Amino acid sequence: MADVTDVPFRSIVAQCGRPDVFYTEFVSAHGLASSGRERLLLDLALTDRDHPIVAQFFGTVPEHLHAAGKLARELGFDGVDINMGCPDRAIMKQGAGAALMREPSRAVELIAALREGAGDLPVAVKTRLGLRSTDEMDAWVGMVLSAKPDVLVVHGRTVSEMSKVPAHWELIGRAAQMAHDAGALCIGNGDIMSRAQGLERASLSGVDGVMVGRGIFHNPWLFAGSPELRTPAERLRLLLAHTDAWVAHWGGIKSFDLMKKFYKVYVSGWDGAAHLRAKLMEAHDAETVRSIVAESGIL
Ligand SMILES: Cc1cc2nc3c(=O)[nH]c(=O)nc-3n(C[C@H](O)[C@H](O)[C@H](O)COP(=O)(O)O)c2cc1C
C-alpha cells in the first residue's frame, strides 16, 4: 500500500506477527527510468527480515516494466507484481493501474515485458473485477491469464465500486477457478479483517491465499491471529518504535504528517485514547511525540 508498506511499517508488522509474503508500495516504472529514480529506490528498500517480498510496479511502457523487473531481481526481491487495479485518478490518467483494463492487449504486453526483465522470479498481476461492471470479469481475467502470470491477485470489486460495496467473494472464487485452469495461483483480496476470516474466505472461495489491505490499520497483530487484547502501553511502545524507524528512513524526505496517519492504528480502544490521539496529531516531530506519550503517564 502506497505510503504504508515501507521498510519501517514492515518491520513493525513483522514484530507483531508477519504475513507469509510482504508487498512493497507500488512504484512507478516510468519514475525509475527518470531523474526521480534515487527517491523511488527508497520505496524499494528491503531488509533481510522482509523476505519473501514482492516488488509492485505500475506503468504503461513495456521497456520500463522490463527494466523494473530486472531491477527487482538485482535488488533481491522474491517476486514482482504489476498493478492493473488502482482506481486513483492520477494513476489512471497516465493509462496505468485500472486504466489498463481499457487496453487489454497493452496489458498483456506489459506482463510479458515484466516477466522477461524479472527472469526466473514469479510474476503476479493485481487487478479488479472490471471497470464498470462485474460482467467484464470473465473477458478481462481471461485476457490477463492469457499472458501466463504465475499469480493472479483479485480485489473483488470493480473500479466504479471503489471500496463502497462489500467485495464479491463469490466472483473471486470464479476468478480462482479460471486462474487454476490456466495453471496460475490466485490470491483473493477485499475486506479481510482477521486471520480467521481470511482462512475461512480462502477455504470457501478456493483461492490459494488472501491479501490484506486496510485490515492492518485496525489490528497490527492481525497476522498473528491472536485474539488477546493489547494494552495501551504495548500499543504506545509500538507507536514510538514505528515513529523512530520512520524518521530514520524518511526523515527530511516525506512530511511527518504521513507518519501521523498511523497513530490511529495504535491509539485507540481505551478511555482517553481519542484525547491523546488529538494531541499527537498536533506534533510535527518525533521528539514532541515522545514527550506527549511521556506526559500521558501510560508508559
Ligand atoms: C492507503 C492505501 C494504499 C494502497 N496502495 C496500494 C498499492 O500501492 N498497490 C495496490 O495494489 N493496492 C493498493 N491499495 C489497495 C489495497 O491493496 C486493496 O486492494 C484494497 O484496499 C482492498 O483490500 P482491503 O479491503 O483488504 O483493504 C491501497 C489501499 C489503501 C487503503
Nearest CA to ligand 1 atom 31: 214
For residue 229, pLDDT beyond 80: no
First vs last C-alpha separation in the chain: 30
**Active-site residue, selected from the candidate residues 86, 96, 236, 293:** 86
Answering whether pTM is above 0.85, one says yes
Nearest CA to ligand 1 atom 4: 1
pLDDT at 66 over 80: yes
Ligand 1: which of 169, 214, 218, 264 to mutate, judged by most atoms within 8 Å of the beta carbon? 214
Q: What is the mean pLDDT of residues 293-298?
A: 97
Question: Ligand 1 atom 6: the closest Cα is on which residue?
Answer: 1
* For the chain, percent of residues with pLDDT exceeding 90: 96
Is residue 186 among the annotated active site residues?
no
Mean pLDDT taken over the chain? 96
Cβ(78)–Cβ(52) under 8 Å?
yes
Residue 226 — very low, low, confident or very high, per pLDDT cuts 50/70/90? confident
Which of 227-236, 242-251, 279-288 is predicted with the least confidence, judged by mean pLDDT? 227-236
Q: Whose CA is closest to atom 23 on ligand 1?
A: 190
Residue 292, pLDDT above cutoff 70: yes
Which pLDDT belongs to residue 230?
Answer: 87
Q: How far apart are CA 241 and CA 16, in angstroms?
A: 12
Task: List residues near ligand 1 (CB under 6 A).
Answer: 1-2, 4, 25-26, 56, 83, 86, 126, 155, 189-192, 212-215
Ligand 1 atom closest to the CA of 215, numbered from 1: 26
Structure confidence by residue, pLDDT tens digits, 101-123: 999 999 999 999 999 999 999 99
Sequence ranges of the domains in the chain: 7-224, 232-295
pLDDT value at 227 more than 80: no
Pick among 3.20.20.70, 3.40.50.1370, 3.30.70.60, 3.40.1390.10: CATH of 7-224: 3.20.20.70
Query: What does the chain come to in residues?
Result: 299
Choosing from 155, 187, 212, 217 the residue with most ligand 1 atoms within 8 A of its CB, the one to mutate for a pocket test is 155
What's the mean pLDDT in 15-24? 96
